[in-house]
Structure 1
Amino acid sequence: MTTTFNLLNHAMLNQVLYELRHGRLQRCRALGLADEDIEVLQSLPPTTLSHLAHSSIAWVEVKVDTTVLRRLIAQAERDEQNERLINRALKLGASSSIMYRCFGLDHSETALRRRVLKIETHRGRPVQLSEAQEHAVWNRWSQLRGDDPDNDPLDAMMMLAEEQHISLTLIWQQIELYGGAPC
């Protein structure tokens, strides 16, 4: 167990000395040192600093801030979910315009993500929906929105694109034409 303490002591002392060397006294205070401690550490000779670093007595305490940890975990989960949503939208044929409006991704970022995901882009005029497809899209959209009006409109559009095997861009254009854009 003392090895762990030695490593913690050593790591903390190295960090404090690094911060002192770069004149970041506020960082030393944030690490838990008082002004008097900072002054003493700055004046110690290398042999004494080495003794502190290799002390078998723990002078460093590690404490987990569970509130912050939980927030970080929740944020990481939201970020991961957003990445999955972005990838799903791209795979369903979302245009650069949709990616910008819904996720804030510019054209170059969208193009790079398509390349990474190996999504081929089609050049030329986009395919237009037939009248039957337009009706099918609008009827299903109305049903999805009626069943759960609080559901995320983009998610409903992606579900519709998957069900109808139609590009998300075409679905978006159809919905925008008759009912407004979701993002």
Structure 2
Amino acid sequence: MDDIRAELESHIALVPDFPEPGILFRDLTPVFTRAELFRGMVDAMVEPFAGRYDAFAGIEARGFLLAGAASMRTDAGVLAVRKAGKLPRATLAESYALEYGVARLEVHADELDPGARVLVLDDVLATGGTAAATCSLVERAGWEVAGVAVVLELEALGGRSALKGREVFSLLQA
């Protein structure tokens, strides 16, 4: 596990003053262009939850990449967690607070079998708002949250506190 962590760290691009002055942005996109590293990252994210999931909830947008790759590695399905207004059939919606406003996520209400075990995947855990909203959607749909796995956890933003009582795994912490 330490090998994949070191390799990931060496490929994350650090971008100062983005998206605003004083912020050091950690750009994970270079990892996705390296197939072997991408594969190892996904394997490391889902391994702690082996045998405890039936599907992966991929949170728009980079969560889609992670969930799709995890699905191909494990034969579990993908639940697309979309921004509001993007899904054509009956949906469940969950709103969550942003720094300046409110956002909403949706899932198709009938996408998985009742009781399906869902592992939530995303690239970054910051405040925990999107992950918490996703967990709420999963449970309201009659499915079970198997856990939350992210590539990078920004510990200073306290995202774990929004996910109390849930198993959270992060490959990297900053």
TM-score w.r.t. length of structure 1: 0.23
Higher strand share: 2
Higher helix share: 1
User: Which entry has the higher C-alpha Rg, 1 or 2?
Assistant: 1
TM-score w.r.t. length of structure 2: 0.24
